[in-house]
Amino acid sequence: MKAAARAGSYQSFAPRTLHPMMKSRGVQPILVEAHSRHLRLHPNWGRARPVVKGKGAYEHLRAVALAYPEAHEEFPWGECAVKVRGKTFLFMRQGEDGLSLSVKLPASREFALEYPFTNPTRYGLGKSGWVTSAFGANDKPPLDVLSAWIDESYRAVAPRKLVAGLAKAGRR
C-alpha cells in the first residue's frame, strides 16, 4: 500500500529503483535524502526538468503528444483524447480540481504505479496496462517523467511503421 503524500509533494515518495527502459535512455537516479529505513530519490532522476514558459503542464504535455507522427486530438466525454490512426494513446483533462492523464504503459506499468499520484485506470483499462496520474491544481507534475510515459504509450499503440519512422527521425 502506498504511503499518503503530503499535499503537492511527490518528491518524498519517488520509487526506489529505476525501470530498465529509463536506464536505457540514460536517466540516472540522484539520492536526495537517505534515512535508516528508506531511500528518497529526486523525481527528475538526474535530468533537468524542462522549462515551460507561458505554458501550463496541460499545454506542454498536449504539445508533446501532438508532435508524434499522425497524432491528432479528439474530445469525447469532454476530455482530450490524443490518437494515432484511430487508436488512443493519451487521455487528458484539466479542470478546477487539477490535471489528470491516462497512458498505456505495457513495459513500465508496475514501476509507474509506485508513485503516489498514479493508479490503474478504471473501467477495466488498468488490466491492459493503462495508468492514470492525477495532480491537484497547485501541484507541479514531473513533466520529464510524463513525457517519457507519453512516448511509451505512443510506441505501444502506434503501427510499427510509424514507430520505425521515429528511429529514423532520431528519436530513440
Residue 73 structural domain: 56-168
Does residue 50 have a pLDDT over 50? no
Residue-wise pLDDT tens digits, 57-88: 999 999 999 999 999 999 988 889 999 999 99
**Cβ atoms 44, 54 nearer than 8 A:** no
In a domain, 42, yes or no: no
Q: The CATH number of the domain where 80 resides is what?
A: 3.90.1150.30
Residue 58 and residue 92 in contact, taking contact as beta carbons nearer than 8 Å: yes
Q: Is residue 67 included in any domain, yes or no?
A: yes
Specify whether the backbone of 65 is left (phi greater than 0), alpha (psi in -120 to 50) or beta: alpha
Whether this prediction's pTM lies above 0.95 is answered by no
pLDDT in tens, 87-145: 999 999 998 889 999 999 999 888 888 999 999 988 777 677 899 999 988 888 999 99
Residues shown for the chain: 172
Q: Per the structure, how many domains does the chain have? A: 1
Whether 72 maps to a domain, the answer reads: yes
End-to-end C-alpha distance for the chain, whole angstroms? 34
Q: Is 37 exposed, middle or buried (0-12, 13-18, 19+ CB in 10 A)?
A: exposed
Asked whether residue 16 is domain-assigned, the answer is no
Q: Indicate whether 29 belongs to any domain.
A: no
Furthest C-alpha separation in the chain: 50
Within a domain: 8: no
* Grid coordinates of 108: 513500465
Mean pLDDT (whole number) for 44-48: 39
Residue 106's pLDDT is: 92
| DSSP helix/strand/coil, 21 | helix
Q: Is 26 within a domain?
A: no
Residues 107, 21: contact at Cβ < 8 Å? yes
Residues 6+ apart with CB under 8 A from 135: 57, 98, 99, 100, 117, 141
In a domain, 134, yes or no: yes
